[in-house]
Every structure is written in C-alpha cells, then in structure tokens.
Amino acid sequence: MGMNSRITPPCYRVAGTGASPPAETWPGDTDEASSTVPLALPLLASLLYAVGSWGLKCGLRRGAGSRMVTALSNLAMAGWSAPLILFFTGQPHPEGFLAAIIAGASLFIGRLCAIQALSKGDLSHATPILGTKTVFVALLTVLFLDEKITPSLMGGAVLTSVAVALLSLNPGADPLKDTQENKINPATTLWALAAALFFAMTDIIVQKYARLTGVTWFQPVMFSTLALLTPLLFFPMRSKASPGLPMLPSTSRWPILVGSGVIGFQTSLVIFVIGIFGHATATNVVYATRGLWAVLLEGAAGGGAAAMDRRILVLRLTGAALLLGAVALVVGSL
C-alpha cells in the first residue's frame, strides 16, 4: 500500500463523484445483515459501560472529584476517536464540520447538565430522568429526520425509560427523612431533563450530518470540540477548590483512568454506529441495557442493594424484563 492509500469504507464512496452516498445506499438500509451489526455493537457498548462505570464508581468512592472524572472521560472519547481520521478517508464539507462542532458542544452541555443534576439531588432521582433520552431521541427523529418511527419502536423507547426508572428506584429509603439521598429536588429534575434532551440532540445531529463528511472525520471533530470545552468544567470550582484536597487522590487513579478509558471507548463506539448505520432510537434502546449489566455487575462484585432488600430485587428484575421487552420490540421493528 502506498503512503496515501488509507482505508475508505465502501459506504463513503460514490463512483465518479466526491459526493456523499444517498441514504438508500448506506449499509444500515440495504444490507440485511447490517441490522444485526448496529444492534450487536451498542449491546457490546452497554457491557463495556457497566465495566467502565464500575471503575469510575470505585474511584469516586476513593475521593476522586466528579468534574475531574468527567474531564478524563471527555479526553478519553477524543483520544479514541482521533485515530479514525488517520486510517479512513472522508470528504471536506463545511456544513458537516459545523454540525460536528455543534454536536460536540451539545454533548458537553449535556454532560454539564448531568453533573448539575447529580450535584442537586440523588443518583436514584436523576438516573430515571436521564433515561428519558430514548423518548427524546424518538420524538426528535420524527421532527428532524426522514425516518419513520413505528409504534413498536416508540413503544420500545417508552418501555426503556420505565425500565431505567425501575432499575434505579430504592424503596428502602425513608421519604420522610430530610436527607440529600431522599430529597426530591425540582432543580435535579430540570437539569436531568435538560441533559437527556442535549444527549438526544447530539445523537440526532450525528445521524443527520455525519454522512456529509463521513463519520470518521465527523467524529474526531466532534470529540475534539468536547475536549476543547472540557476546561470550562473547572471554572465555577476554582474559587471553592481546597488546595489541600486533590481532585484525583493516588488511591483512585487506576480505577478512574481505566474506567475513563473504557467509558470513552464505548461512547465513541455508539456514536460511530449511529453515524454509519443511523437507527438512533433503536441504538439507544439496546444501549439502555447498560443499566441491567451495571446492576448485575454490582451484584456479582459486592452484593449491592438488591442482595439486602427483596423489594429492590423485584423492581430490578421487573426493569430487566421491560428492557428485554423493549429490545425485542426494536428487533422486530427493523
């Protein structure tokens, strides 16, 4: 192979032109086997998410700062995506590059909103609301994409949101106690809804515009934008930071670094799948099984809350069943 003979996926080529291939020539639309690929890859990503989030959770328990964890995850996403531009060719397209920058900014705002949601309230309150992303993706698909959302696909999106809520409920908490863990803060709801909306917008932008440049050019620009915006995470904290308290204690470094790397890879993989195959709603429904894998991993590693409270176990099993039902609806709709 010559020096300029980089790999060009067939879906980026149109014979005799430099233009993007029409939508009907993309593998997600023409190849019967391709319906398996965009489902298998987000499923793999959901498994990796459980592993990566477990590492981040261990690091947070050992004193790592949440903003530092978010920053390292952002940089990992950019790091995993950057090599794509070296091994695959795309095509210059101003509108496509602008959309990639907007997608990166949207992802950054979504992650910032998620941090605010978690800082205002408990994880068990914010997580179910963040799960509404699948519904937002379905609605935005109808509004902005030339893709028909079937009743089965919409049903799968709604079931996914309900399942995520069930997987994160804690009936053992005492709602009468005025503690941070039990407090239902309206600000948490608003911040989590905003995060879910911006995350959904990111996926829609990727599906609509990544084909203009090719996803392997679109994605590095998108995540480079995310990385460039990452220092803004620390601006509000500068005046409050304690010089004697490191944001990444030595005992938390290896789980945070490994977890960030895994989280960065699986996020890049999901964006790659949406950029090439489309099917943002179906991808998000399958990807939502990460909540199930996280619960199973927690139980296998340390018992978790479900091992101590039968009510939590019943809720999580119900949520798992709903997730499987949602995935079945999605598979049937493709």
User: What's the CA gap between 190 and 165, in Å, rounded?
Assistant: 16
At 2 the pLDDT is 44
Which position has the higher pLDDT, 160 or 258? 258
Q: What average pLDDT does the segment 1-16 reach?
A: 41
Indicate whether 19 belongs to any domain. Answer: no
At 214 the pLDDT is 92
Indicate whether 276 belongs to any domain. Answer: yes
At 189 the pLDDT is 79
Whether the predicted pLDDT of 200 surpasses 80: yes
Q: Are the beta carbons of 167 and 295 closer than 8 angstroms?
A: yes
Band (11; pLDDT cuts 50, 70, 90)? very low
Indicate whether 238 belongs to any domain. Answer: yes
Q: Are the beta carbons of 26 and 276 closer than 8 angstroms?
A: yes
Band (147; pLDDT cuts 50, 70, 90)? confident
CA 302 vs CA 47, 50, 54, 262: distances in Å? 18, 14, 11, 21
**Residue 141 sits in which domain range?**
33-333
Least confident among 4-8, 160-164, 219-223, 226-230: 4-8
At 20 the pLDDT is 43
Whether the predicted pLDDT of 12 surpasses 60: no
At 6 the pLDDT is 42
Q: What average pLDDT does the segment 305-318 reach?
A: 66
Indicate whether 289 belongs to any domain. Answer: yes
Number of domains in the chain: 1
Whether the predicted pLDDT of 245 surpasses 50: no
Which position has the higher pLDDT, 196 or 61? 196
Indicate whether 21 belongs to any domain. Answer: no
Phi/psi at 201 (5° precision): -60, -40
At 35 the pLDDT is 55
Band (185; pLDDT cuts 50, 70, 90)? low
The tens digit of pLDDT for each residue in 247-284 reads 788 888 899 999 999 999 999 999 999 998 888 888 98
H-helix or E-strand spanning residue 271: helix 253-277
CB proximity list for 34: less than 8 A, separation 6 or greater? 27, 28, 277
Q: What average pLDDT does the segment 127-140 reach?
A: 83
Indicate whether 115 belongs to any domain. Answer: yes
Indicate whether 90 belongs to any domain. Answer: yes
The tens digit of pLDDT for each residue in 34-77 reads 556 678 899 999 899 888 888 888 888 888 888 888 899 999 99
Indicate whether 5 belongs to any domain. Answer: no
SS (H, E, C) 4-65: CCCECCHHHCECCECCCCCHHHCHHHHCHHHHHHHHHHHHHHHHHHHHHHHHHHHHHHCCCC
